[in-house]
Structure 1
Amino acid sequence: MFQSLSLLPLLAIFAAAAGAIWIAGVQLSNTTDILSQRFGLGQALGGVILLAIATNLPEIAITASAAASGNVGVAVGNILGGIAIQTVVLVALDAFGVKEKVPLTYKAASLTLVVEGLLVVAVLIVSIMGTQLPASLIYARIAPDALVIALLWILGVWLIGRAHKGLPWHDSAGDAPDTQDQPKGHSKRKTEQDATAKGKSTARTVAVFLIAAVATLAAGVVLERAGDGIADHIGMSGVLFGATVLAAATSLPELSTGLTSARAGDYQLAISDIFGGNAFLPVLFLLATLISGTAVLPQAQATDIYLAGLAVLLTSVYLAGLIFRPKRRVLGMGIDSLAVLVLYTVGIAGLFAIALLGGQSGS
């Protein structure tokens, strides 16, 4: 249906779907906060999984749609491109969300966040390793690389849960001195308290969550199909479009909710939500493999491997920022955020050079 439309209607449909994802994503985040508090999930495994699924529903919809149509290149590009661009969301949170005159990583510094960032790096490295495996290495619609990523993510989430309960350090919470005043997640509790004060029942909250989830899934499919049509019209490869424009559109909910957390002074939660979403995204390779019936990662192109490396680099810069806690701000942001912004800009230029000059050669 979308392939027969001209460019302007496709752009309008794409913008409308992106807007729907923004609105529904905000509702998903709010209702997830309320439900996790009321059901006592908090930072437990169930709460982390619920949050990861809710915040990544657009990517889940796009991955499922692309895999079902046999367009696994878009799925891979959107997942890896999404990790890179969602890391850049932290630049916006640093520049526009921090009330104090210090960088985001200075106020959020915590060993638990370092563990979360290391999980992102770990699943990305396994993803890169998976691109080198033979495509024939698949059994019962499950590829070993995708399965290992999913298991590694579960193990990482369990370790993060252990870290939340205490670490064998001078500060058992693993927090640096002079960080945020209130504990991580206090903005979630306030969201639930405000909902209770307004008389929002659990049943109503569940209903809003489900409606927002369905709307997000539907908008994600429309976004993928319209984006594929736009890419054809402007002569841009689907992989490149998925890694840039499409990934940016699906990152809108993270930007909105992250700004809300940062402006509420819940800086650790703002970074944790980004790292948590990024760590979960490679798990979708298992979904893509199950749906398409083919090993997805061995089909990765040069641009996909490049994006995974870029995401590792950007995450590593913020890990260094959380450890060294630079106080200096340049252009309204921390030095680490400025470095990430520059590296991402240069990295995207390199991505276009690979796609347009080097060709879409396989791995």
Structure 2
Amino acid sequence: MISPHALPWLEFLLCLSVIGYAGVKLSVFGDVIADKTGLGGSWVGVIMLATVTSLPELVTGVISVTVAELPDIAVGNALGACVINLFILVLLDFLHRGESVFQESSQGHILSASFGVLMIGFVGFSILLSHNGYQLSFGHMGFYTFILVIMYGVAVRSVFQYEKNHVAAFADHAPDRRPDLSLFQSVARYAAAAVLVVIAAIALPFVGEHIAQDMGWQRSFVGTVFIALATSIPEMVVSIAAMRIGALNMAMASLLGSNLFTMFILAIDDVLYTRGPLLAHVSPVHGVSAFSAVMMTSLAIIGLFYRPNGRVLHTVGWTSLFMFVVYLLNTYILYLYEH
């Protein structure tokens, strides 16, 4: 007989498994679609892969602010996912043999990373303002929502224009890896994997609430650490699989693009949360995650621009090491806030 205390964790592992399986399929068929359509790996990573692998964050956020009424789960999930996506860059650097991923990736990723700093930093700024009584709102929405939507639109358009102008240097050139599949079959299987991701993501807010109640933990802590980990599984699986098939630029673009789309998701959550501006109804500790993500993204930009040589004890480069330290610091501060 299953213990009542074990049941929420079994539910969590089931969601992890479903999302992980679907993430592999998203990576495979996303790369096939990129080959067959002739789109650059970076553009597919920023727009298609980043959007679909962020579906768990989208669905979890929507369910959290509507049916479940758990705004801390929604915001913690979004900002925690940004931190974990950047930690995945560290993991890629550890798994990648040869030069550092920052040396072998295109410097064009600096553009999407810079927009990430802007958008995530703006969210952290808005959280601090909201909890100090400085809240501009339009109806039940914060004014920051309109700015986030504009920022995301400008970011996507800028990356697209860069792709057009620098496609030769920024795209991953590779032959058709799956000649046995038509474009229609690839898109259909890609869509089926996306549906699996959505189904698992719908359950996550309720699973997170069960864990929080059972363990006596804060919802902000559960959302940022556990739910964010679960919803980031597609990014992790897709990025590692993309790196292993030689599509490193797609992996890098998927992670950085996911952070942009995740900030756009916060705007959607704010629209759907009818009790008032979303960021005014959550714990201020989420600001720690926001600024941790800003620091980690800034380190990634330094790595992409400076391209440092060497690895620390044959593991990761100095850039990744500092990113890992910020990740640990962020998790520790959240743990202290919990206790």
Q: Does the Cα contact within 8 Å between 1:41 and 1:47 map onto a contact in 2?
A: no
Q: Identify the residue that residue 320 of structure 1 maps to in structure 2.
A: 302
Aligned AA (1:255): M
Aligned AA (2:238): T
Task: Please give the residue correspondences for 1:72-221 in structure 2 after superposition, counting only pairs within 5 Å.
Answer: 72-96=71-95, 98-100=96-98, 102-110=99-107, 112-131=108-127, 132-133=129-130, 134=134, 137-139=137-139, 142-166=141-165, 184-186=171-173, 190=175, 193-195=176-178, 197-198=179-180, 200-221=181-202
Segment drifting more, 341-350 vs 321-330? 341-350
CA–CA separation in structure 1 for the residues paired with 2:141 and 2:114: 25
CA–CA separation in structure 2 for the residues paired with 1:137 and 1:225: 29
Aligned in 2, Cα 1:308/1:253: closer, same or farther, shift over 3 Å? same
1:212-242 CA-to-partner distances (Å, cap 9, x unmatched) read 2221111012122112101211111111011
1:178-229 CA-to-partner distances (Å, cap 9, x unmatched) read xxxxx5333xx55xx233x22x233333332332222111101212211210
1:129 is displaced (CA, Å) by: 2.8
Q: Does the Cα contact within 8 Å between 1:74 and 1:238 map onto a contact in 2?
A: yes
- The size of the alignment, in residue pairs, is 330
Aligned AA (2:162): A
Segment drifting more, 27-36 vs 117-126? 27-36
Aligned in 2, Cα 1:211/1:116: closer, same or farther, shift over 3 Å? same
Aligned AA (1:324): Y
Aligned in 2, Cα 1:38/1:62: closer, same or farther, shift over 3 Å? same
1:104 is displaced (CA, Å) by: 1.2
User: Structure 2 unaligned runs (5+)?
Assistant: none
CA–CA separation in structure 1 for the residues paired with 2:41 and 2:195: 25
CA–CA separation in structure 1 for the residues paired with 2:238 and 2:45: 17
Q: Identify the residue that residue 359 of structure 1 maps to in structure 2.
A: none
User: Structure 1 unaligned runs (5+)?
Assistant: 176-182, 357-363
Report the TM-score when normalising by structure 2: 0.89
Q: Does the Cα contact within 8 Å between 1:60 and 1:284 map onto a contact in 2?
A: yes
- Match among 196, 201, 216 for residue 235 of structure 1: 216
1:48 is displaced (CA, Å) by: 4.1
Q: Does the Cα contact within 8 Å between 1:153 and 1:279 map onto a contact in 2?
A: yes
Aligned AA (1:223): L
1:298 is displaced (CA, Å) by: 2.5
Aligned in 2, Cα 1:108/1:40: closer, same or farther, shift over 3 Å? closer
| Aligned-residue RMSD, C-alpha | 2.4
1:37 is displaced (CA, Å) by: 4.6
Aligned in 2, Cα 1:29/1:142: closer, same or farther, shift over 3 Å? farther
Q: 3-state DSSP class of the match of 1:333?
A: coil
Q: Does the Cα contact within 8 Å between 1:43 and 1:161 map onto a contact in 2?
A: no
1:46 is displaced (CA, Å) by: 8.6
CA–CA separation in structure 1 for the residues paired with 2:14 and 2:45: 30
CA–CA separation in structure 2 for the residues paired with 1:263 and 1:43: 14
- Match among 5, 24, 37 for residue 7 of structure 1: 5
1:56-83 CA-to-partner distances (Å, cap 9, x unmatched) read 0111111011011221111000000110
Structure 1 position 278 matched with structure 2 position 259: yes
CA–CA separation in structure 1 for the residues paired with 2:159 and 2:204: 33
Q: 3-state DSSP class of the match of 1:328?
A: coil
Q: 3-state DSSP class of the match of 2:138?
A: coil
CA–CA separation in structure 1 for the residues paired with 2:306 and 2:45: 30
* Percent sequence identity over aligned pairs: 24
1:265-294 CA-to-partner distances (Å, cap 9, x unmatched) read 333222111111111101011221222223
Structure 1 position 343 matched with structure 2 position 330: no
Aligned in 2, Cα 1:74/1:280: closer, same or farther, shift over 3 Å? same
Aligned in 2, Cα 1:207/1:261: closer, same or farther, shift over 3 Å? closer
1:248 is displaced (CA, Å) by: 1.3
1:325 is displaced (CA, Å) by: 0.9
Aligned in 2, Cα 1:278/1:160: closer, same or farther, shift over 3 Å? same
Aligned in 2, Cα 1:346/1:155: closer, same or farther, shift over 3 Å? same
Q: Does the Cα contact within 8 Å between 2:112 and 2:257 map onto a contact in 1?
A: yes
